[in-house]
């Protein structure tokens, strides 16, 4: 026998071997008899063959199996093992099937590779076989095998139930049956388009050894894109047809062209006329023809496509059919092939006559403005702001000055433009620089009165920002106007003081009448108590007259600040007097910082202002209440400073608020007028708030009155803080 045969007893010894078994084991039969299989066959102990043979010996039953065995030389052999129980033990017949096994494994691997490739195809694919023929019908197809794409997109199972056709698996696939007949009859692939649900497929079917191979390609998106492309082309044609421009397409290879757009309404010529060779060239006016035609000719030479000519823009004039001259803007772009040569030109020509007309008008307007700028009596200049690394404005660079400005500055224009202000005029420009700083900070026009040290005259300077760090400055000499206004104000002040003096004289007359009356009552026979009462009345009248005189003098001749006062300390020192003045029914609430709060004002004047304000707050509070005095330091920026009427900088802000009835809205604008009072007759002179206003204004500060939302009035005082560097 060519197959190995052996008898093995219960002790695993060889009792018989045929020559083929000896060859398989690589030793003569005589050397193997009575030898233990465990010793002869390497790696036998514990192997799969060992376990199976042991089972046969133990159970005394036949068994057939296929197994592989690794030999000592590293090779692997596969055997079809047939085991039969015999009297001595077991009879083992081993048929070597290594070649057959390897062929089967290769076939299995090939099938797996095919299956994997089949599954990986994105298009649905299926192996179909001839199905049963329904009675009286045409032959059908059943599904043998489908890939994942078929299962996901088509939904058919991998196998149809017996007797069912492909149409039973998925409705709509019946169109494949006549395709299969066609493929069988022609021996070629057959195809059609079929719909499954909302999708369209390009179906193809061909013969295979055991049936047919069908594939479906989803063409829904492609058809949609094609339809969208057609619609896009239609929209493009409609757009071009309505466009107020001429669109040109020129194929360089065959020298053909296409022209579309509102050609007749724009130029009076049809698209066919403009597309005819040489016609467009003839429309260019003679003055523009040479450079335009040179550019066109160079661009049309396919082998001289210079980078700057692959996309170019021209503006030139053409003559319309009605002989009107119009300006055209022509933009051209080339499509370059792989060889670097132009294949096609696309262009758009638009009528820009209106723009050229506007540019001419703008040029004339600029020339008129330049003439106005140069000849205006205002001192006009344009400067560029120069900033340091922190972004702070430290200088100017002159950009333009008019004739009046050069006369004022005393320097010719060609020696000013492009140079810095500090370079020309030194540190004396610091006052003017403050205007540009305020303009840059506030973003709007700022007007300041500046006294020029060179001639002592006053100029009203208006600064406004435009562009990037550009500032325009307009200066007007207002020296004479200010003098005239001061004279007019002085006359008005004298008239007001005259009226005020008349009123004060009337009040003094009443006071003196009271003094005279009480002095007349003092006789030798008058009782002592009544005499003391009359003397008290005389003293009160004299005190009122003294206070009225002081207020009148302070209002008429307000004195400038002579020292720096710590506001918090001044208010604390005055607190006992203010509390007695407020009375028992009104409490005083001071909200002051712990540190120093210096302000430029005399301490006596500041305390007099507080006395007047607390007295007014007390009189405005009919019942019990509270007066709050609060002081803080604050920096006023350009916007807030302009609204209040002060310069930018550091200030001490003091607020005096009461819980009274407030100020009638119609009186808010008059509350600081001299001799204006809302108190009953005889209880006020109307000079308290007017004196406080004049005192604070002389100190470089301000005072504002307002009503609080919850009731009561609030007086806000602004006092300029001394320069920080000076304090250091």
Question: What whole-number distance in Å separates Cα of residue 193 and Cα of residue 454?
Answer: 98
Taking alpha carbons only, the member of 214, 186, 187 closest to residue 201 is 214
| CA–CA dist 401, 286 (Å, integer) | 43
User: Which class is domain 558-727?
Assistant: alpha beta
CATH architecture of 121-218: 2-Layer Sandwich (3.30)
| CA 314 distance to own-chain centroid | 37
- Residue 542 has what pLDDT? 65
pLDDT of residue 629: 93
Query: For residues 555 and 558, what is the distance between their CA atoms, to the nearest angstrom?
Result: 6
Task: Annotate 305-349 with DSSP letters as a single string.
Answer: --GGGSEEEEEEEEE-TTS-EEEEEEEEEEEE-TTS-EEEEEEEE
pLDDT above 70 (res 214)? yes
CB 477 within 8 A of CB 489: no
pLDDT for the residue numbered 521: 58
Residue-wise pLDDT for 65-77, tens only, equals 888 777 667 778 8
Residues pairing with 450 in the sheet: 459
**Quick one: pLDDT at residue 653?**
94
Q: Could you tell me the CA-to-CA distances from 280 to 85, 351, 441 in Å, in that order? A: 109, 15, 57
Q: Give the Cα separation of 307 and 565 in Å (integer).
A: 77
Write down the CATH superfamily of domain 376-477.
PAS domain (3.30.450.20)
- With vertex at residue 465, the alpha carbon angle to CA 460 and CA 466, rounded to the nearest 5 degrees, is 135
Dihedrals phi, psi of 647, to nearest 5 degrees: -80, 160
Residue 135 has pLDDT above 50, yes or no: no
User: What is the value of pTM for the model shown?
Assistant: 0.33
Instruction: Answer with the residue of higher pLDDT: 216 or 526.
Output: 216
Residue 110, pLDDT above cutoff 50:
yes
DSSP 695-707: HHHHTT-EEEEEE
Out of 321-335, 491-505, 626-640, 646-660, pick the least confident.
491-505
Closest CA to 563 of 614, 595, 613, 607: 607
More confident residue, 253 or 586: 586
What architecture is the 226-357 domain classified under in CATH?
2-Layer Sandwich (3.30)
What would the pLDDT profile of 264-283 be if each residue is shown by its tens digit? 777 888 878 887 878 888 88
pLDDT in the model for residue 136:
42
CA distance 300 to 344: 10
Answer for the pair 45, 67: CB distance below 8 angstroms, yes or no.
no
N residues, the chain: 728
- Domain 4-102: what homologous superfamily? PAS domain (3.30.450.20)
SS3 91: strand
DSSP H or E run through 228: helix 220-242
Tokens 């500060």 -> residue = 701
Reduce the DSSP state of residue 645 to 3 states and report it. Answer: coil
Delimiting residues of CATH 3.30.450.20 domain(s) in the chain: 4-102, 121-218, 226-357, 376-477
Q: Which of 111, 46, 47, 42 is nearest to 71 (CA)?
A: 42
Task: Quickly list H helices, 634-713.
Answer: 638-644, 688-698
Residue ranges of the chain that CATH labels 3.30.565.10: 558-727
Q: Which residues of 671-694 are buried (b: 16+ CB within 10 A; e: fewer)?
A: bbebeebeeeeeebbbbbbbbbbb
């Amino acid at each position: 026998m060519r197959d190995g045969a052996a008898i093995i007893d219960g002790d695993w010894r060889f009792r018989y071997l045929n020559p083929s078994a000896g060859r398989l084991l690589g030793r003569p039969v005589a050397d193997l008899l009575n030898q233990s299989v465990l010793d002869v066959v390497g790696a036998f102990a514990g192997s799969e063959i060992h376990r199976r043979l042991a089972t046969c010996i133990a159970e005394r039953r036949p068994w057939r199996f296929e197994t592989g065995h690794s030999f000592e030389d590293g090779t692997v052999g596969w055997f079809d093992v047939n085991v039969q129980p015999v009297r001595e033990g077991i009879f083992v017949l081993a048929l070597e099937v290594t070649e057959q096994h390897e062929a089967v494994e290769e076939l299995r691997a090939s099938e797996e590779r095919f299956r994997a490739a089949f599954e990986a195809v994105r298009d649905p694919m299926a192996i179909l076989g001839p199905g049963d023929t329904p009675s009286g019908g045409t032959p059908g197809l059943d599904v043998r095998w489908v890939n994942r794409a078929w299962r996901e997109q088509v939904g058919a199972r991998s196998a149809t139930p017996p007797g069912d056709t492909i149409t039973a698996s998925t409705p709509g696939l019946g169109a494949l049956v006549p395709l299969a007949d066609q493929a069988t009859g022609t021996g070629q692939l057959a195809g059609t388009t079929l719909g499954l649900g909302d999708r369209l497929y390009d179906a193809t079917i061909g013969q295979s050894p055991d049936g047919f191979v069908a594939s479906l390609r989803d063409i829904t998106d492609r058809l949609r894109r094609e339809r969208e492309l057609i619609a896009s082309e239609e929209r493009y044609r409609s757009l071009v047809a309505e466009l107020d421009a001429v669109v040109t397409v020129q194929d360089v290879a065959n020298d053909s062209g296409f022209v579309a757009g509102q050609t007749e309404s724009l130029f009076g010529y049809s698209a066919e006329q403009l597309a005819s060779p040489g016609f467009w060239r003839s429309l260019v006016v003679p003055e523009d023809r040479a450079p335009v035609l040179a550019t066109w000719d160079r661009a049309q030479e396919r082998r001289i496509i210079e980078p700057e000519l692959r996309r170019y823009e021209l503006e030139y004039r053409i003559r319309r059919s009605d002989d009107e001259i119009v300006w055209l803007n022509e933009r051209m772009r080339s499509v370059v092939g792989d060889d670097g040569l132009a294949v096609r030109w696309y262009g758009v020509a638009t009528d820009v006559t209106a723009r050229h007309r506007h540019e001419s008008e703008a040029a004339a307007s600029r020339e008129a403005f330049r003439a106005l700028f140069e000849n205006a009596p205002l001192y006009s200049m344009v400067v560029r702001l120069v900033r340091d690394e922190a972004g702070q404005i430290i200088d100017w660079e002159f950009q333009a000055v008019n004739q009046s400005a050069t006369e004022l500055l005393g320097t010719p224009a060609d020696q000013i433009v492009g140079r810095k202000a500090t370079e020309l005029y030194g540190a004396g420009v610091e006052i003017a620089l403050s205007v540009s700083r305020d303009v840059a900070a506030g973003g709007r026009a700022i007007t300041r009165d500046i006294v020029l040290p060179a001639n002592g005259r006053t100029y009203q300077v208006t600064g406004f920002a435009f562009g990037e760090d550009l500032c325009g400055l307009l200066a007007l000499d207002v020296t004479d106007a200010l003098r005239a206004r001061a004279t007019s104000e002085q006359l008005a002040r004298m008239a007001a003081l005259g009226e005020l003096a008349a009123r004060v004289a009337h009040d003094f007359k009443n006071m003196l009448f009271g003094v005279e009356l009480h002095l007349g009552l003092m006789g030798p026979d008058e009782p002592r108590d009544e005499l003391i009462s009359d003397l008290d009345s005389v003293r009160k009248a004299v005190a009122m007259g003294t206070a009225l005189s002081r207020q009148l003098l302070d209002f008429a001749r307000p004195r400038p600040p002579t020292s720096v006062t710590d506001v918090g300390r001044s208010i604390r020192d005055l607190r006992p007097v203010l509390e007695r003045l407020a009375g028992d029914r009104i409490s005083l609430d001071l909200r002051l910082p712990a540190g120093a709060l210096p302000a430029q004002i005399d301490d006596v004047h500041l305390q007099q202002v507080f006395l007047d304000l607390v007295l007014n707050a007390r009189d405005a509070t009919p019942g019990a209440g509270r007066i709050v005095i609060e002081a803080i330091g604050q920096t006023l920026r350009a916007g807030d400073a302009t609204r209040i009427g002060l310069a930018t900088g550091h200030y001490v802000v003091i607020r005096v608020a009461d819980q009274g009835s407030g100020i009638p809205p119609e009186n808010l604008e008059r509350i600081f007028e001299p001799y204006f009072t809302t108190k009953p007759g005889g209880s006020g002179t109307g000079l308290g708030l007017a004196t406080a206003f004049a005192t604070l204004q002389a100190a470089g500060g301000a005072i504002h009155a307002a009503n609080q939302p919850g009731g009561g009035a609030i007086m806000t005082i602004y006092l300029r803080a001394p320069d920080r560097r000076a304090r250091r």
